[in-house]
Amino acid sequence: MNTLGIYIVQFDRAGYGGSDPNPKRSLRSEASDIEELANHLELGSKFHIIGFSMGSYPTWSCIKHLSHRLAGVAFVAPIVNYQWSSLPKSVTKNDGRTRWYKRMTLVARYAPKLLHWWMIRKTSRTTPTNNSKPTYFTDKDLELLKNAPGFQFLTAEKIKSRSVFNNLRSDFLVAFSKWDFDPLELSNPFPENDKRLVHIWHGCEDRFINLKRQRHVSERLPWIQYHEVRDGGHLLIYDTIVCEAILKSLLLGEDTPLYTPKFSS
């Protein structure tokens, strides 16, 4: 990112890539890992964080526990946990994804062997080897992946590895179990700054995260700058144009009228 005069550090969270697993991972441990890495790399007293998808729960934890180290935050297609205590039922009812996450949380906690079998079976049917498309990605998501060689589909062969499965299971349980704080009750981590330094970016076609929930989060937390990508799916981070807008909004405070949502009254 020479034009912006910045560099980006992307790291493997516990259990992913080359990082050791942490079976006792928690919201707090994820934030501690980020702070320890920042100190080790000498990133300075303050730094920006971009949290994508499941990586958003460590980002919420950083706002809760490390706000003094943050210069700004961008959430991209972040999860919204149905167990947040102040999330109203009106936002979660009639949403099939809520029922799915509830079932998966219960099965992951009490019947991991059954979940392991199901995931192997499920992924074996939705891998590129049999020319089937994962239904949770939009056509635009799949098009973006053609230019994202670092992205890998979760295949049955990978899931067969017990260590891979155990890590995904522990990560999922932390993300969708009860948290020790409610993000919807957090205060502005930058009260002395008149600019909104926390951003949420969401695609209107996202098949993972309910758009209605994301809008509710933005309404409950007015200190967050909310952006919507009209034709965006879940993989906004891989869209070069959107990613550039995310960075310029986060780092330079540039207005993004193209991505300013227009809610119907």
pTM for the model: 0.92
Domain-located, residue 223: yes
Q: What is the CATH number of the domain that holds 136?
A: 3.40.50.1820
Question: What integer pLDDT is reported at residue 195 of this predicted model?
Answer: 87
Full DSSP string of 61-84: HHHHH-GGGEEEEEEES----TT-
| CA separation for the pair 234, 217 (Å, rounded) | 17
Question: What integer pLDDT is reported at residue 129 of this predicted model?
Answer: 43
Domain-located, residue 20: no
Torsion sign (Cα): 156, 161, 167, 173: positive
Helix (H, G, I), strand (E, B) or coil at 203: strand
Domain-located, residue 14: no
pLDDT tens sequence for the chain (265 residues): 567 778 889 999 999 888 999 989 999 999 999 999 999 999 999 999 999 999 999 999 999 999 999 999 999 999 999 999 999 988 888 788 888 889 999 999 999 999 999 999 888 875 444 455 557 889 999 899 888 766 767 788 889 999 999 999 999 999 999 999 999 999 999 998 888 999 999 999 999 999 999 999 999 999 999 999 999 999 999 999 999 999 999 999 998 889 999 776 4
Of the candidates 72, 100, 107, the residue with the CA atom closest to the CA atom of residue 209 = 100
| CA separation for the pair 9, 47 (Å, rounded) | 11
Domain-located, residue 88: yes
What number of CA atoms fall less than 13 Å from residue 228's CA on the CB side?
17
CA distances from 193 to 45, 71, 189, 196, 198 (A): 17, 11, 9, 8, 11
Domain-located, residue 1: no
Asked if 78 and 221 count as a contact pair (C-beta separation under 8 A), the reply is no
Residue 148 has what DSSP assignment?
Answer: -
Full DSSP string of 206-240: -SSS-HHHHHHHHHH-TTEEEEEETT--S-GGG-H
Of the candidates 122, 185, 189, the residue with the CA atom closest to the CA atom of residue 155 = 122
Question: What integer pLDDT is reported at residue 146 of this predicted model?
Answer: 84
| CA separation for the pair 34, 58 (Å, rounded) | 8
| CA separation for the pair 252, 265 (Å, rounded) | 31
Q: Which residues are CB-neighbours of 58 under 8 A, at least 6 positions away?
A: 13, 27, 30, 31, 33, 34, 51
Domain-located, residue 188: yes
Question: What integer pLDDT is reported at residue 220 of this predicted model?
Answer: 96
Strands laid side by side in the 198-203 sheet: 47-52, 70-76, 198-203, 224-229
Q: For the chain, where are the alpha helices, taking DSSP H only?
A: 27-40, 56-65, 89-92, 96-110, 112-125, 139-145, 156-160, 162-176, 211-220, 240-252
Domain ranges, residue 135:
27-252
Q: Say how many domains are in the chain.
A: 1
| CA separation for the pair 112, 244 (Å, rounded) | 40
Provide the CA 29 distance to its chain's centre, in angstroms: 17
Q: Which two three-digit tokens encode residue 26?
A: 């928690």
Question: What integer pLDDT is reported at residue 2 of this predicted model?
Answer: 63
Domain-located, residue 102: yes
Domain-located, residue 259: no
